[in-house]
Amino acid sequence: MKKITLLTTLWLIGCWVYAGPVTEHGQLKVNGKQLVDRNDQAVVLRGVSFGWSNWWPQYYNAEAIDILSNDWKCSVLRAAMGVEPDSAYISDPQSQLALVTTVIEAAIKNDVYVIIDWHSHGMRTSEAVDFFRQMADRYNQYTNIIYEIFNEPVMQSWEEIKAYSEEVIQAIREFDQNNVILVGCPHWDQDIHLAANDPLTDCPNIMYTLHFYAATHKAWLIERANDALNKGIPIFISECAAMEASGDGPLDLDSWNTWLNWAEDNQISWVCWSVSPKNESCSMMKETALPQGPWKDEDLKEWGILTRHTIRQYNTNTDSTDTTDVSRYLSDIYPAFL
Q: Cβ distance 36 to 43 under 8 Å?
A: yes
Q: Cβ distance 248 to 22 under 8 Å?
A: no
Q: Cβ distance 114 to 98 under 8 Å?
A: no
User: Residue 283's Cα: distance from chain center in Å?
Assistant: 15
Nearest one of 270, 282, 209 to 56, comparing CA atoms: 282
In the residue annotation, 223 being an active-site residue is answered as: no
Give me the catalytic one of 152, 160, 174, 223: 152
Cα-Cα end-to-end distance for the chain: 61
> DSSP secondary structure string, 247-312?
S-S---HHHHHHHHHHHHHTT--EEEEEES--SSTT--B-TTS-TT----GGGB-HHHHHHHHHHH
User: Residue 273's Cα: distance from chain center in Å?
Assistant: 8
Nearest one of 181, 163, 99, 175 to 133, comparing CA atoms: 175
Provide the 8-state DSSP code for 53. T
In the residue annotation, 152 being an active-site residue is answered as: yes
Q: Cβ distance 188 to 245 under 8 Å?
A: yes
Residues 6+ apart with CB under 8 A from 43: 25, 28, 35, 36, 37, 267, 269
CA angle 330, 216, 48 (to 5 degrees): 55
Give me the catalytic one of 148, 239, 244, 302: 239
Nearest one of 221, 321, 213 to 270, comparing CA atoms: 213
Sequence-ordered strand ranges (E) for the chain: 29-31, 34-36, 46-50, 76-82, 113-119, 145-148, 181-183, 206-213, 235-241, 270-275
Q: Which residues are catalytic?
A: 152, 239
